């Protein structure tokens, strides 16, 4: 035999073939021939290696180097470096996510490390089309042993003793099944291999058939000997051409070698095999349907008993096992039942192959010992959910399996545990889902599959799956009711109970298990008309509008900008937003974080587009207010002229009420005015919005402090019929570090407020800011613009990735010269003569994730260091502050947070006629959330004043009107990059407080707006409105 | 003879009998739709469901296809059987509300509401027509097409069949399209006009069938078992 110094094992499983492994193999062979290495190096095509995510894959033996994601252009370099110069190519090796060092050897890669290969022992190591290679790795040794040394009874005993259970899903003991058939006196008897693998996302059987066809053959011949069959069938679905081809080759080779046919190995035993191709019906995988299909009839299951073991194919005793079961048999015979029984759990022995797919870093095929926890498979082998998202659950067992929620991930994987948890082993499909998976939609997906694949015989299954699909569709369309959920549950139970075969009996599982673990998600769909995962498009419409607390129809006005209809775009924005100039600059943009364009590239710059429209409208003088007439007798007082109070006021004057806002500061605008710096939100722009509101008829009185200048009772005495409290949350939290009371220690919000109100603040040359939020960055940047300040440093205890401040603000701050010390926490404030001189800090490292999902910082002992500072600004956090309230006011406060307690729907406090909202209720939140609270309170106040109970109406999200989409060029459609907004040059920044972001030009705005995917046009309503087919 | 437990009583059955045949022999009524004595068993309508085995591991099977086995424990009228049966009737009725057979079944088993949108398919795919055509008329002119929710009964390729002799056996045996319910709004909804007299009875036992079941049947169990 020819000796080679190296073998290149090219994966030729279906996964790698479709990612181009045959081309890679061809390129390898050409390059090797070009380098005249063909006598030293051999290229071999192997079966599926399992790590399909990384295909095409090449293994170099004997070094064990693992190359992945190969392209034909990588090949010359690989051959030259590795095979000629002996230097493995690092660039083509596997790099684990979140690390930067490549792992050269296959055995060290996490994906392979935790697997236990028995059935798949030959995967990626032999050429499945060469029987000699199989024989070289102990192939057909078990067959020889079974035929020459063992009686049929001995084989049966061995299989029974091994504890092997069927790998097709139901887990019936294989030994018992064989014995039941062996005792039958009638002949002929038949052996069947079930390779009709039809679960979406499952490809275990295909892989075994492709990677090691002889193992299946060997198992079947042993089984035939055990029960006394002379003929066997391998049933493979015709969608698996490569598997069929390789099994066909294997059968021919086995016949040639005398391993099939008459007088096998000279023992006088006759057995032969035939391939039957399935026509693609999922139900054919059911035993009795499969037998009917081989007989040439419609694949329709029939009642058992009689079981196939006594009355199967053509009425003869038949043993039918799954591909994986057959491939396990030779291993048991060769290595002994005792060895096999030593693997796995008490009731589930050996290993099981799973196809790990869905939202998982390492997609592929894994073989693990039974009893391993789901977490080990998902996190250990699978590498967890990519993109740092949270895992929501794992769907196991194919379409009729069930969902295991994330909280049960420590569940051991064996037949009993999975069934008890409402799932099933099934054939071994494992679909990992993250928080972007809607469980109701998932159930709908599987029901749609099942209503197609039900054979249609039983009423329960045929009508049941169809009706369940209709109900679940109603729910995902936002039309469901609570009765629908109850009916769904009742129907699911009946379908499970009344159906004939495994398909029907488990067809309700997708519904039952999602209802069992994710019922609140169903209820959210029907009660609140919300889809938390933002998947159900008939509910969500456009995610940007769905996520916006004040229901801004972003995709509509973006669509109008794309058509250059700026005036109309402006009206769409104005309709729902009392402070558009403000929102166009400082909104926290919940819309952009859920933008679907962000899933494939960068999200649309929605805020910047809004600002563009507003700037355009102001220039054109379009934002002309119209005085709103007072049409109702009741007067309403609002305390606090921040975003929440202003929004509530505007909504109320639109409804015809007379409204007066009372503000304790000398200026209106609240936090917008006194804490957000001018370089982010110029005073003039805020004033634009305020002027508009005042011109509409909103009355704002400043320098009026509740509790000092007036009381709640005074307001009612003065004839106000309702009061809305929106006083905000601005009491700084204490840091709990010694020295906080020293001179030179400032609170960020106090400092910013004094700065904006023109009150002198004494600042030293070196300013340190503690915190990582927007106010920390704001304070540092404002201070750094002060002539007295020479350096400004932010101390933050986590890394930049965790910083809550907006990334563009951090970036701009760094550009301006702010320093940020990450992973730094203060221990003590150093003082001299009562004045701050610096901070003693300690280095942190990131530890386990806490409840907020962020990594918890842990101090590194002994890493203390000094940060000198003349002024220290604390920007930790704030809490609601209500010193103005008296016992007699009759309001209730949260003992924990100091916030005012209200009914979440109506925003009513415990005192009739008094409502509250914004930060004083929620604690520190965003501008847009505060505005949403104001708008909601206005609706509730209206109901209160009309003397009717307030009912919140939950409707699916829809824009007021639909805007035609624009036609894109091919190049535009490919554009996933966001347009960059021009910024104030760095040199001009420190000298003043001018706005940094200059806004889109018309050209940039148009380009950006045209990028929008217009998700809102996907609903049926939209298609009807625009006259498109649904 | 095989001995088995039927509704708590030890009974004997002939070798080869089904559970349905055994029950009938002892005068117990089990509703059927796709079953016909002259045709092979199908097991599709799921009306003849019975509960077999010892609880809690018992399961529901169709009595028309399940062989009488020695020692088998069978319950023909347990709550579990009834609620599954009711759902089957509700499902079938929603696809063929015009059928008098189904409307009568609904009345007899206390199905008082149909919660699924009526479809008026006028076919419940029981397969009686295809079986009578193949087995009694030896024609095989019609058969099942497609699977799942797309399943229909038709001639091959939906063409006029050359082997069909227009004998009408398929129409004769059909429970859905021939005999029409004459109730006021039968086309769209549950009728419940006939067979609704329900005198009260005293007790209900999970294991027993009312002695009047086979005669005029009093309907008491229906009232009792209404959930």
Residues ≥6 apart with Cβ < 8 Å to A173 = A160, A163, A164, A165, A166
Residue A948 pLDDT exceeds 70? yes
Helices (H) and strands (E) in chain A, counts: 41, 30
pLDDT of residue A753: 92
User: Does the beta carbon of A470 lie under 8 angstroms from any beta carbon of chain B?
Assistant: yes
Residue linked to tokens 């404002």? A782
Structure tokens at A1012: 């929008």
* Residues in chain B within 8 Å Cβ distance of A470: 116-117
Give the model's confidence band at B216: pLDDT under 50 very low, under 70 low, under 90 confident, else very high: very low
pLDDT of residue B225: 44
Looking at the complex, report in whole angstroms how far the Cα of residue A487 sits from the nearest Cα belonging to chain B: 8
Residue pair A860/A844 in contact by the 8 Å Cβ criterion = yes
Residue pair A768/A872 in contact by the 8 Å Cβ criterion = yes
Identity of the residue in A305, A454, A470 whose CB atom sits nearest the CB atom of B147: A454
- How many CA atoms does the CB half-sphere of A767 hold within 13 Å? 31
Relative to beta strand A318-322, strand A190-195 is: parallel
pLDDT of residue A194: 94
Residues ≥6 apart with Cβ < 8 Å to A649 = A638, A659, A661, A693, A698, A934, A938
- The DSSP secondary structure of A618-637, one letter per residue, reads HHTT-----PPPP--S-EEE
Nearest to A381 by CA among A99, A94, A111, A117: A111
Q: Is A435 exposed, middle or buried (0-12, 13-18, 19+ CB in 10 A)?
A: middle
Give the model's confidence band at B188: pLDDT under 50 very low, under 70 low, under 90 confident, else very high: low
pLDDT of residue A1030: 45
Cα distances from A763 to residues A768, A779, A870, in angstroms, run 11, 12, 7
Residues ≥6 apart with Cβ < 8 Å to A154 = none
State pLDDT tens for residues A281-320. Answer: 899 989 999 999 999 988 999 988 889 999 999 999 999 9
Which residues in chain B belong to E strands, given as ranges? 2-6, 9-13, 49-52, 59-62, 73-75, 143-145, 152-154
Q: What region does B4 belong to: left with phi over 0, alpha with psi -120 to 50, or beta? A: beta
Query: What's the distance, Cα to Cα, between the start and end of chain B in Å?
Result: 39
Cα distances from A507 to residues A285, A916, B86, in angstroms, run 14, 49, 19
Q: Which of 43-82 (B) contact A at CB < 8 A? A: 43-46, 49, 59-62, 65-67, 69, 80
State pLDDT tens for residues B107-145. Answer: 888 888 899 998 888 899 999 999 999 999 999 999 999
Give 3-state DSSP helix, strand, coil % of chain A, rounded to 5.
40, 15, 40
Residue B214 pLDDT exceeds 60? no
Average pLDDT over residues A932-936: 95
Q: Nearest 5 degrees, angle CA A148-CA A151-CA A157?
A: 125
Looking at the complex, report in whole angstroms how far the Cα of residue B65 sits from the nearest Cα belonging to chain A: 6
Structure tokens at A865: 């260091």
Average pLDDT over residues A521-548: 94
State pLDDT tens for residues B73-90. Answer: 999 988 899 899 999 999
Residue pair A935/A638 in contact by the 8 Å Cβ criterion = no
Quote the DSSP letter at residue A397.
Answer: S
State pLDDT tens for residues A340-382. Answer: 999 989 889 999 999 999 999 888 889 999 999 999 999 889 8
Structure tokens at A560: 């109008």
Residue pair A606/A556 in contact by the 8 Å Cβ criterion = no
Structure tokens at A242: 């490569």
Residue linked to tokens 């398909």? A503
Instruction: Please tell me the distance from the alpha carbon of residue A56 to that of residue A67, in angstroms, as a whole number.
Output: 8
Instruction: Please tell me the distance from the alpha carbon of residue A495 to that of residue A512, in angstroms, as a whole number.
Output: 11
Q: A152 versus A852: which is more confidently predicted? A: A152
Q: Which of 477-536 (A) contact B at CB < 8 A? A: 483, 487, 490-491, 494, 497-500
Q: Nearest 5 degrees, angle CA A810-CA A814-CA A818?
A: 105
Please tell me the least confidently modeled range out of A91-105, A548-562, B139-153. A91-105
User: Does the beta carbon of B207 lie under 8 angstroms from any beta carbon of chain A?
Assistant: no
State pLDDT tens for residues A76-129. Answer: 888 888 888 888 888 889 988 767 788 888 888 888 888 889 999 988 888 999
Quote the DSSP letter at residue A738.
Answer: T
pLDDT of residue B202: 52
Looking at the complex, report in whole angstroms how far the Cα of residue A526 sits from the nearest Cα belonging to chain B: 17
State pLDDT tens for residues A816-856. Answer: 889 999 999 999 899 888 899 999 999 998 887 766 667 78
Residue linked to tokens 């229909």? B152
Q: Nearest 5 degrees, angle CA A631-CA A632-CA A635?
A: 125
Query: A457 and B67: CB-CB below 8 Å?
Result: no
pLDDT of residue A615: 93
Give the model's confidence band at B220: pLDDT under 50 very low, under 70 low, under 90 confident, else very high: very low
Structure tokens at A614: 């507003």
State pLDDT tens for residues A394-418. Answer: 998 877 788 899 999 999 999 888 8
**3-state class of B86 per DSSP?**
helix
The structure's pTM equals 0.89
Residue B199 pLDDT exceeds 60? no
* Residues in chain A within 8 Å Cβ distance of B53: none
Average pLDDT over residues A716-737: 89
User: Does the beta carbon of A827 lie under 8 angstroms from any beta carbon of chain B?
Assistant: no
Average pLDDT over residues A31-46: 88
Give the model's confidence band at A958: pLDDT under 50 very low, under 70 low, under 90 confident, else very high: very high
Average pLDDT over residues A582-609: 93
Q: What percent of chain B has pLDDT over 70?
A: 82
Mean pLDDT estimate for chain B = 84
Identity of the residue in B49, B59, B125 whose CB atom sits nearest the CB atom of A462: B125
pLDDT of residue A159: 95
Instruction: Please tell me the distance from the alpha carbon of residue B181 to that of residue B195, in angstroms, as a whole number.
Output: 13
Residue pair B76/B31 in contact by the 8 Å Cβ criterion = no
Mean pLDDT estimate for chain A = 91
Identity of the residue in A303, A451, A456 whose CB atom sits nearest the CB atom of B66: A303
Residues ≥6 apart with Cβ < 8 Å to B195 = B104, B107, B108, B219
Structure tokens at B162: 């050359």
Give the model's confidence band at B196: pLDDT under 50 very low, under 70 low, under 90 confident, else very high: low
State pLDDT tens for residues A730-739. Answer: 888 877 788 8
**3-state class of A1030 per DSSP?**
coil
User: Does the beta carbon of B146 lie under 8 angstroms from any beta carbon of chain A?
Assistant: yes
Relative to beta strand A65-67, strand A190-195 is: unpaired
Residue B55 pLDDT exceeds 80? yes
Q: What percent of chain A has pLDDT over 70?
A: 99
Q: Nearest 5 degrees, angle CA A657-CA A663-CA A665?
A: 160
Query: A491 and B150: CB-CB below 8 Å?
Result: no
Quote the DSSP letter at residue A93.
Answer: B
Structure tokens at A450: 């099942």
Query: A498 and B49: CB-CB below 8 Å?
Result: yes
* Residues in chain A within 8 Å Cβ distance of B88: 459-460, 494, 498
Rounded to the nearest angstrom, the gap between the alpha carbon of residue A336 and the centroid of all alpha carbons in its chain is: 44
Instruction: Please tell me the distance from the alpha carbon of residue A424 to that of residue A417, in angstroms, as a whole number.
Output: 8
Give backbone dihedrals phi and psi of A564, rounded to 5 degrees, phi first: 60, 25
User: Does the beta carbon of A302 lie under 8 angstroms from any beta carbon of chain B?
Assistant: yes
Give the model's confidence band at A203: pLDDT under 50 very low, under 70 low, under 90 confident, else very high: confident
Residue pair A200/A429 in contact by the 8 Å Cβ criterion = yes
Q: What percent of chain B has pLDDT over 90?
A: 58
Residue A590: Cβ within 10 Å count: 17
Identity of the residue in A453, A459, A490 whose CB atom sits nearest the CB atom of B148: A453
Cα distances from B47 to residues A174, A490, A503, B26, B89, in angstroms, run 33, 17, 19, 19, 8
Give the model's confidence band at A533: pLDDT under 50 very low, under 70 low, under 90 confident, else very high: very high
CA closest to B49 among chain A residues: A498
Instruction: Please tell me the distance from the alpha carbon of residue B96 to that of residue B168, in angstroms, as a whole number.
Output: 20
Structure tokens at A582: 């403000």
User: Does the beta carbon of A459 lie under 8 angstroms from any beta carbon of chain B?
Assistant: yes
Looking at the complex, report in whole angstroms how far the Cα of residue A164 sits from the nearest Cα belonging to chain B: 23
pLDDT of residue A1029: 55
Quote the DSSP letter at residue B179.
Answer: S
Instruction: Please tell me the distance from the alpha carbon of residue A497 to that of residue A596, in angstroms, as a whole number.
Output: 41
Instruction: Please tell me the distance from the alpha carbon of residue A480 to that of residue A976, in angstroms, as a whole number.
Output: 36
Rounded to the nearest angstrom, the gap between the alpha carbon of residue A587 and the centroid of all alpha carbons in its chain is: 25
Q: Is A977 exposed, middle or buried (0-12, 13-18, 19+ CB in 10 A)?
A: exposed
Quote the DSSP letter at residue A893.
Answer: B
Residue pair A320/A200 in contact by the 8 Å Cβ criterion = no
Query: A453 and B147: CB-CB below 8 Å?
Result: yes
Instruction: Please tell me the distance from the alpha carbon of residue A203 to that of residue A195, in angstroms, as a whole number.
Output: 10
Query: B149 and A470: CB-CB below 8 Å?
Result: no
Instruction: Please tell me the distance from the alpha carbon of residue B121 to that of residue A860, in angstroms, as a whole number.
Output: 73
Q: H/E element holding A431?
A: strand A429-434
Tell me the sheet residues that pair with A501. Answer: none
Give the model's confidence band at A482: pLDDT under 50 very low, under 70 low, under 90 confident, else very high: very high
Q: What percent of chain A has pLDDT over 90?
A: 62
- The dihedral sign for the CA sequence A620, A623, A626, A627: negative
Give the model's confidence band at B193: pLDDT under 50 very low, under 70 low, under 90 confident, else very high: low
């Amino acid at each position: 035999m020819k000796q080679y110094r190296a073998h290149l094992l090219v994966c030729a499983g279906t996964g790698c073939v479709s990612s181009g492994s045959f081309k890679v193999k061809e390129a390898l062979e050409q390059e090797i021939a070009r380098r005249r290495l063909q006598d030293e190096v051999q290229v071999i095509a192997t079966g599926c290696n399992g790590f399909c995510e990384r295909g095409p894959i090449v293994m170099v033996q004997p070094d064990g180097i693992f190359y992945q994601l190969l392209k034909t252009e990588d090949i010359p370099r690989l051959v030259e470096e590795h095979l000629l110069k002996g230097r493995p190519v690092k660039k083509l090796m596997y790099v684990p996510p979140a690390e930067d060092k490549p792992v050269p050897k296959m055995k060290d890669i996490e994906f392979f490390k935790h697997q236990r290969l028995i059935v798949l022992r030959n995967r990626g190591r032999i050429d499945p089309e060469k029987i000699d290679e199989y024989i070289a790795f102990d192939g057909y040794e078990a067959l020889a042993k079974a035929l020459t040394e063992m009686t049929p009874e001995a084989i049966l005993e061995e299989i029974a003793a091994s504890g092997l259970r069927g790998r097709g899903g139901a887990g019936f003991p294989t030994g018992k099944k064989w014995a039941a058939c062996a005792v039958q006196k009638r002949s002929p008897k038949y052996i069947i291999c079930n390779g009709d693998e039809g679960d979406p996302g499952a490809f275990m059987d295909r892989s075994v058939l492709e990677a090691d066809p002889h193992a299946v053959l060997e198992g079947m011949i042993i089984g035939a000997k055990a029960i006394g069959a002379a003929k066997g069938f391998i049933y493979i679905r015709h969608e698996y051409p490569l598997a069929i081809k390789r099994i066909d080759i294997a059968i021919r080779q086995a016949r040639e070698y005398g391993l099939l046919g008459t007088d096998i190995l000279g023992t006088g035993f006759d057995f032969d095999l035939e391939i039957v191709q399935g026509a693609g019906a999922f139900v054919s995988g059911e035993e009795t349907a499969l037998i009917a299909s081989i007989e040439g009839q419609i694949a329709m299951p029939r009642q058992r008993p009689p079981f196939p073991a006594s009355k199967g194919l053509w009425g003869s005793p038949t043993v039918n096992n799954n591909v994986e079961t057959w491939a396990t048999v030779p291993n048991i015979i060769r290595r002994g039942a005792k060895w096999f029984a030593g693997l796995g759990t008490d009731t589930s022995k050996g290993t099981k192959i799973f196809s790990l797919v869905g939202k998982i870093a390492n997609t592929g095929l894994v073989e693990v010992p039974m009893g391993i926890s789901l977490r080990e498979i998902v996190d250990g082998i699978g590498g967890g959910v990519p993109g740092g998202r949270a895992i929501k659950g794992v769907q196991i067992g194919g379409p009729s399996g069930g969902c295991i929620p994330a909280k049960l991930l420590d569940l051991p994987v064996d037949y009993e545990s999975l069934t008890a948890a409402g799932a099933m082993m099934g054939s071994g499909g494992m679909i990992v889902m993250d928080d972007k998976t809607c469980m109701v939609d998932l159930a709908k997906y599987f029901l749609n599959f099942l209503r197609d694949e039900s054979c249609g015989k039983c009423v329960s299954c045929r009508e049941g799956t169809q009706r369940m699909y209709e109900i679940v569709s109603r729910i995902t369309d936002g039309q469901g009711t609570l009765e629908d959920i109850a009916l769904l549950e009742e129907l699911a139970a009946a379908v499970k109970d009344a159906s004939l075969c495994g398909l029907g009996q488990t067809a309700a599982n997708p519904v039952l298990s999602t209802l069992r673990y994710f019922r609140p998600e169903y209820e959210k769909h029907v009660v609140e008309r919300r889809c938390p995962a933002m998947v159900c498009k008939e509910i969500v419409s456009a995610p940007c509008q769905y996520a916006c607390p004040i229901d801004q129809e972003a995709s509509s006005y973006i669509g109008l900008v794309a058509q250059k209809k700026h005036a109309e775009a402006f009206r769409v924005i104005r309709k729902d937003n009392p402070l558009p100039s403000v929102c166009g600059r400082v909104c926290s943009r919940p819309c952009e974080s859920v933008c679907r364009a962000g899933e494939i590239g960068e999200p649309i710059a929605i805020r910047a587009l809004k600002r563009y429209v507003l700037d355009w409208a102001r220039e054109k003088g379009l934002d002309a207010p119209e005085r709103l007439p007072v049409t109702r007798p009741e007067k309403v007082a609002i305390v606090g002229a921040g975003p929440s109070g202003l929004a509530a006021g505007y909504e109320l004057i639109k409804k015809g009420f007379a409204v007066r806002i009372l503000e304790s500061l000398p200026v209106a605008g609240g936090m917008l005015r006194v804490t957000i710096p001018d370089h982010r939100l110029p005073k003039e722009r805020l004033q634009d919005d305020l002027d508009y509101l005042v011109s509409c008829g909103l009355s704002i009185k400043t320098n009026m402090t509740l509790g000092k200048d007036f009381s709640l009772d005074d307001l009612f005495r003065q004839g106000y019929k309702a009061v809305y409290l929106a006083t905000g949350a601005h009491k700084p939290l204490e840091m709990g570090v010694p020295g906080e009371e020293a001179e030179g220690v400032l609170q960020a919000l106090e400092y910013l407020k004094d700065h904006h109100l023109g009150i002198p603040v004494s600042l030293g040359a070196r300013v340190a800011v503690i915190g990582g939020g927007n106010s920390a960055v704001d304070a540092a940047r404002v201070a750094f613009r002060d002539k007295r300040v020479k350096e400004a440093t932010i101390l933050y205890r986590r890394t930049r990735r965790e910083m809550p401040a907006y990334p563009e603000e951090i970036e701009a701050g760094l550009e301006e010269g702010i320093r940020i010390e990450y992973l730094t926490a203060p221990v003590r404030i150093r003082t001299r003569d009562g004045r701050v001189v610096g901070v003693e800090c300690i280095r942190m490292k990131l530890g386990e994730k806490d409840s907020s999902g962020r990594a918890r910082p842990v101090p590194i002992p002994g890493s203390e260091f000094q940060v000198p500072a003349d002024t220290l600004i604390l920007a930790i956090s704030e809490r609601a502050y209500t010193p103005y309230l008296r016992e007699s006011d009759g309001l209730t406060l949260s003992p924990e947070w100091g916030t005012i307690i209200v009914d979440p729907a109506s925003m009513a406090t415990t005192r009739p006629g008094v409502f509250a909202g914004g930060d004083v209720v929620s604690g520190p939140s965003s501008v847009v959330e505060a505005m949403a609270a104001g708008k909601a309170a206005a609706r509730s106040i209206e109901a209160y004043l009309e003397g009717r109970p307030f009912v919140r109406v939950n409707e699916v999200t829809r824009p007021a009107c639909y805007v035609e989409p624009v036609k894109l060029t091919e190049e535009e459609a490919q554009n996933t990059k966001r347009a960059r907004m021009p910024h104030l040059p760095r040199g001009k920044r420190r000298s003043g407080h001018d706005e940094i972001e200059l806004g889109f030009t018309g050209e940039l705005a148009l380009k950006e707006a045209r990028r929008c995917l217009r998700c809102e046009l996907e609903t049926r309503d939209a298609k009807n409105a625009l006259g498109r087919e649904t | 003879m095989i001995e088995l437990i039927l509704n708590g009583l030890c009974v004997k059955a002939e070798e080869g009998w089904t559970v349905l045949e055994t029950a009938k022999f002892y005068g117990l009524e089990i509703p059927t739709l796709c079953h016909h004595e002259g045709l092979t068993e199908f097991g599709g309508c799921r009306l003849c469901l019975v509960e077999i085995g010892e609880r809690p591991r018992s399961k529901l099977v169709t009595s028309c296809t399940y062989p009488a086995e020695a020692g088998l424990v069978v319950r023909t009228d347990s709550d579990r059987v009834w609620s599954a049966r009711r759902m089957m009737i509700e499902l079938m009725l929603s696809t063929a509300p015009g059928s008098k057979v189904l409307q009568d079944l609904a009345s007899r088993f206390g199905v008082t509401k149909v919660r699924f949108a009526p479809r008026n398919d006028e076919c419940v795919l029981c397969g009686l027509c295809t079986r009578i055509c193949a087995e009694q008329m030896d024609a095989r002119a019609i058969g099942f097409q497609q699977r799942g929710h797309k399943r229909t009964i038709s001639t091959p390729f939906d063409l006029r069949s050359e082997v069909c002799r227009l004998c009408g056996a398929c129409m004769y045996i059909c429970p859905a399209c021939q005999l029409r319910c004459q109730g006021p709004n039968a086309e769209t909804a549950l009728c419940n006009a006939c067979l609704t007299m329900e005198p009260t009875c005293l007790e209900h036992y999970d294991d027993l069938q009312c002695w009047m079941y086979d005669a005029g049947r009093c309907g008491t169990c229906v009232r009792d078992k209404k959930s």
